[in-house]
Amino acid sequence: ITNTIDHLNIWKANKHKIYIKGHYTDVHGLPCIERIVCSVDETPEAIPTTIRGTIPEWITGNFLRNGPGKFEIGNNKFNHWFDGMALLHQFKIAAGQVTYKSRFLGSDCYMANNEHRRIVVSEFGTVAMPDPCKNFFQRFLSRFEMPGSSDNDNVSFVTYKGDYYVSTETNFMHKVDPETLETKEKVNWRKFIAVNGATAHPHTDPDGTTYNMGNSYTAKGAFYNIIRVPSTKMSENLKETLEGATVVCSIPSLDKTRPSYYHSFAMSKNYIVFIEQPIKIDLLKIVTGKLTGKGIKDAVYWNPELETIFHLINKQTGMLNSVKYYAKAMSTFHQINAWEEDGFLVMDICAADDGKAINNYLIQNMRKSGEALDEVYNTMCRVFPRRFVLPLSVNSKTPYKQNLNTRHDSSATAIRIAMDKVFCTHENLHSEELHKYGGLEFPQINYAKYNTKPYRYFYGCGFRHLVGDTLIKMDLEGHKMKVWEHPGLYPSEPVFVPSPDATEEDDGVILSVVITPNKDKSTFLLILDAKTFDELGRAEVPVNIPYGFHGTFYSSYLQKTFTESK
């Protein structure tokens, strides 16, 4: 208990020192990465790549990536990295060879922007200006219109019932053909359930049932909704993949008009874990955005005085656990894994002690150089992997003011401080060595076999820059690390692909698209041996590719493996 109290007091004291100084690191001389956020042309027809080294012949399938690829429309420029028009990428791997193609998503906003040669649909950080062709009175009235949702799905590829979609965080997704990258249809979540959006990071059970989260806004305030999509289509004649989707639980926001922002959530075998964090969304500012000329970005803010709350929802019954698990103020965008063991739910996440980074990724910031670039980086809090251990059997007999975490291999704490309130502190899933690499984000695991189960390895990007500049393999046994790094190269999110004859957790390869902002047309697909982290080969692409967000690898073999892991 004394250690926990000391930990909290030190954190509170240091928190104020950090905010007064406003800097988390003291890095100097960061190289300019301006071309990472430059517009490119699409490559709709497959082109060959140049192979260096060896691409294992057992790798057969499509590595699909998503991210922004167009940052200007006519004379208008987008303000935020998240605003760029979605560009879909495919690396087709077969028989040791790789081809590449890309297409802009045929979204309504992309079509409308191109038709009018200006930005006509507002995005996260960019407000569309009134049509200059309208008269003054029409332009004035247009500022009182409710802002519409963008369908610029530039975050990730997701699957529901075997169909591929690209997604962002609004109520719109697009079904796409993973072979041609053609946009097939626009899908609105609101046609199936009463939500105003859904995350781009659903979780899937081995039987194919998929879970997601989405907000809804009612006269009673904001709610966080747990969504379940069944594994199969209800009828072969139905084209609607989301048919049968249901809201299994609705959680009222602690603040009715200022819900928390969340990018993803955690899932174990029996529970969904929703993390209500102190990154808040001012709904009034969003509603009045057109009138004030402010974007959604300006409505998102960090409140360090609030605590973080973990909500547990039973996946089968939809019941919300009456016990709430609290932690100090922190932000998290991506979770690593979660599982249940010996009466505990163990949850590993990537988290930071500050939540202001989302508003730092303005395009003008990413294009800075010299001291101005260093300043942007140094004012951003680093993200590190952490573990929380939540006791599942808290009842009237559970003692107060003592650590309920009895796992001998864990230094995390869970202390009951009120009837239905447990305060938790984390344990670090890393050694001091990770600080040299700027922390870790974009975590990935051997999802097909180890999601919701105890595991040993995870992979991610080190962040010694505004984007990933290293690839890291973390071994939870001893917190040992393996690192791939080359100066001037910026790898994207690592995706693990298991080998067909895998017997161990890390039998397979890591795929990552590596961006080279200081060298023209030299982006490449990198293949690492996941066990040794040695480079096996690379496929060099003779076109420029911007730094993207998330991707996935699909093959019929992997689908079979995932199903059998049930």
Neighbours of 60 (CB within 10 A): 16
According to DSSP, the β-strands at 421-425 and 324-327 are parallel
334 annotated as belonging to a binding site for a ligand: yes
Three-class secondary structure assignment of 154-178: CCEEEEECCEEEEECCCCEEEEECC
Are 290 and 388 within 8 A, CB to CB?
Answer: no
16 annotated as belonging to a binding site for a ligand: no
80 annotated as belonging to a binding site for a ligand: no
Neighbours of 401 (CB within 10 A): 9
Q: Kindly write down the DSSP assignment for every residue of 395-438, as one continuous string.
A: -TTSPSSSB----TT---EEEEEETTEEEEE-EESS-GGGGGGT
430 annotated as belonging to a binding site for a ligand: no
User: Hey, is 494 helix, strand or coil?
Assistant: coil
The helix or strand, by DSSP H or E, that contains position 139, with its residue range, turns out to be helix 136-142
Instruction: Compute CA distances 407 → 82, 127, 169, 398, whole Å.
Output: 41, 50, 37, 16
Sign of CA dihedral 372, 376, 378, 379: positive
Q: For the purposes of burial, counting CB atoms within 10 Å of the CB of 407, is it exposed (0-12), middle (13-18) or buried (19 or more)?
A: middle
Which of 272, 270, 300, 305 lies closest to 286 in space, CA to CA? 300
Q: For the purposes of burial, counting CB atoms within 10 Å of the CB of 13, is it exposed (0-12), middle (13-18) or buried (19 or more)?
A: exposed
- Measured distance CA(401)–CA(227) in Å, rounded: 35
User: Hey, is 236 helix, strand or coil?
Assistant: coil
| Binding-site residue ranges for Fe cation | 201, 263, 334, 550
| Binding-site residue ranges | 201, 263, 334, 550
